Amino acid sequence: MADFSDLTLDVAKLRRDFPILDREVHGKPLIYLDNAATSQTPRQVIEVFDDYYGRYNANIHRGLHTLSDEATAAFEGTRETVRAFLNAADHREIVFTRGTTEAINLVANAWGRVNLKAGDEVLISRLEHHSNIVPWQLLAGELGFTIKVIPVDECGVLDLAAYRDLFTERTRLVAVNHVSNAFGTVNPVAEMARVAHEHGARILIDGAQAAPHQAIDVQAIDADFYAFSGHKVYGPTGVGVLYGRAELLEAMPPWQGGGEMIKTVSLEVPTTFADIPHKFEAGTPAIAEVIALGRALRWVSDIGLDLIGAWEARLLEHATEGVAGIEGLRILGTAPDKAGVLSFVVDGAHSQDIGLLIDQLGVAIRTGHHCAQPLLSQFGLDATCRASFAAYNTPEEIDVFVEGLERVVGMLR
């Protein structure tokens, strides 16, 4: 089994930051292995909400009073935290959204409507989450451009030779995830960006599953757009980030109109818009959530993403070895470079039944299509079971999961 002895992560201490890990489910200690859907939240992030609403709850940017100044400073401080987290060149390249889905829709509507037209091509992969498929399908239906699909092999790895061959003089955009939520495949996004730029295309990267597991450097990747969600990276729901190159954001029109995103409004002459990033942040934002996101990113950075990623890799190794002896179990996604995601099916057992029964043992996993129906359909499936790991998971929890899975599979046969 995997050896954890050389890693310095103090998981027992780290787990004390998570109140929810002390609870029981069906009389059993909670073992939470659904982190690819939503990670749990440390108390330091939870406390941000009490602090904000209890001490300086106010709207931001235009107030002259003390509470508004304090809220604005905390909100904009998170923008700098995110800039550093992504190694963006400029804090103006950080746009706050409701999550990765809204960030991708923002690019589709603000960049895509201006830069895409009938006859153009957008490349996506079969590994994509629905949120990086459907916005482009909707826009293609209106504008008439073509969506071309990067194929995936039997291991869940993108075919890079086929990717290069898909480019033509009409290719305008590549939209691809950094890490697959369904299989855990880590895509070579820097190489993909290099190829896209050689052909004069832009690249948008869905980083929702990468942000919790590895350090991200948007300048080294040479990303044009990069998006992630707070709730995947130990932060709150309802908040996310779009990184965009400053020159691209400046050239894009606003997506939503309202307060905050304007310079002047008149009924006689055209409205003028705020500078980036505020041009894309219409209305009162999720102020507390943004501030809490900043705290979550500092919590992750203090531990170290390299250490977190190494720990999760050992957990994945431990779990993969553990389930290998279960008769009829087949792992989906065997890429050599993977994040901490274990997707599997078991002959003669429906994924939903496995999920419901193992929950009775206190183990939370995800079942279903994981918003990746095109990927699963390639393998003749409509659902898998998925266990996904985070910094607070332990080898002992993996052992309980494997023992519980063996028991459940035995019941279903």
pLDDT in tens, the chain (413 residues): 788 889 999 999 999 999 999 999 999 999 999 999 999 999 999 999 999 999 999 999 988 899 999 999 999 999 999 999 999 999 999 999 999 999 999 999 999 999 999 999 999 999 999 999 999 999 999 999 999 999 999 999 999 999 999 999 999 999 999 999 999 999 999 999 999 999 999 999 999 999 999 999 999 999 999 999 999 999 999 999 999 999 999 999 999 999 999 999 999 999 999 999 999 999 999 999 999 999 999 999 999 999 999 999 999 999 999 999 999 999 999 999 999 999 999 999 999 999 999 999 999 999 999 999 999 999 999 999 999 999 999 999 999 999 999 999 999 97
Q: Please report the pLDDT score of residue 158 as a whole number.
A: 98
Q: Is the pTM of this model over 0.95?
A: yes
What residues are paired with 177 via a beta bridge?
Answer: 206
Q: Where in the chain is the domain with CATH 3.90.1150.10?
A: 11-42+304-412
The answer to whether 296 and 85 have CB atoms below 8 angstroms apart is no
Q: DSSP for 120-167, please give it.
A: -EEEEETT--GGGTHHHHHHHHHH--EEEEE-B-TTS-B-HHHHHHH-
Assign domain 11-42+304-412 to its CATH architecture: Alpha-Beta Complex (3.90)
Interaxial angle between packed helices 287-303 and 305-323, expressed in degrees from 0 to 180 and rounded to the nearest 10: 80
Q: How far apart are CA 113 and CA 15, in angstroms?
A: 46
Q: Quote the pLDDT of residue 250.
A: 98
Report CA-CA distances (Å) from 247 to 15, 142, 170, 221, 294: 42, 26, 22, 17, 25
User: Is residue 331 helix, strand or coil?
Assistant: strand
**Beta strands 202-206 and 94-97, pairing class:** unpaired
Look at residue 5 in the predicted model and tell me its pLDDT. 85
Q: Give the integer Cα–Cα distance in Å for 30 and 47.
A: 22
pLDDT of residue 136: 98
Please report the pLDDT score of residue 203 as a whole number: 99
Question: Element (H or E) spanning 286, and its range?
Answer: none
Helix (H) or strand (E) holding 97: strand 94-97
Q: What is the pLDDT of residue 413?
A: 77
DSSP code, position 173: E
Q: Select from 146, 126, 134, 128 the least CA-distant residue to 102.
A: 134
Q: Which of 115, 178, 104, 102 is nearest to 143 (CA)?
A: 115
- Residues with catalytic annotation? 371
What does the pLDDT read at residue 40? 98
Token pair recorded at residue 51: 């602090």
CB 387 within 8 A of CB 351: no
- Strand ranges (DSSP E) for 300-391? 329-332, 341-346, 363-364, 366-368, 384-388
d(CA 374, CA 351): 18
What's the confidence (pLDDT) of residue 2? 87
The DSSP symbol for 99 reads S
Q: What is the pLDDT of residue 189?
A: 98
- What helix, strand, coil percent values describe the chain, rounded to 5? 45, 20, 40
Kindly report the CATH number that applies to the domain delimited by 46-302.
3.40.640.10
